[in-house]
Structure 1
Amino acid sequence: MSNDSSSKLEKWRAKYAALVIALGCLYSVIIGWGENWILTSILGLGVIVCGIIGFCDIKRFITSKAKNGNF
C-alpha cells in the first residue's frame, strides 16, 4: 500500500513540481512588489523559467502517454 502511494506521489512530483515552484515564486512576486526590486526581478524570472519547465514536463508526460497508448 505505501509503495503504491509513494509511486503516485513520485509521479505527481515529477509532473507538477516545477509548476508548484512557479506558483510559489508568483505569490512572492505579488506580495513583495515594489519593496525590493532585485528580489522581485529574480522571483519574476523564476516564475517564467519554472513555468516553462513545468509546461514542458506536462507536455512530455502527455506525449509519452499518447505514444504508449495509455491516454
Structure 2
Amino acid sequence: MKNLMPNTKILPTMKTGGSIKINPAKKGTFTAQATKMGMSVQQAASKILSAKEGTYTPAMRKKANFAKNFAK
C-alpha cells in the first residue's frame, strides 16, 4: 500500500497553524514604503491595491495584498 502521508515531519507545524516565512532582507520594506507615502500600512495597502494595474510593481502589490490579508 502506498504511504499517503510521506512527509510526516510537517504535521506538528500544520496542527499549530503553520508558519509564515518572510525573507529577512524583505522584512519591513512595505512598512517603509507606507511611511514614505505618509500613510499607515493599511491605508497604503488599500491605495496600492485600488491603483491601476502597472502603477506599482507586482512585488509591491503582493506585499499590499499580504498586509490586507494578515491585518490584525
TM-score (norm 1): 0.34
**Rg larger in structure:** 2
Greater relative CO (CA pairs within 8 A, separation 6+): 1
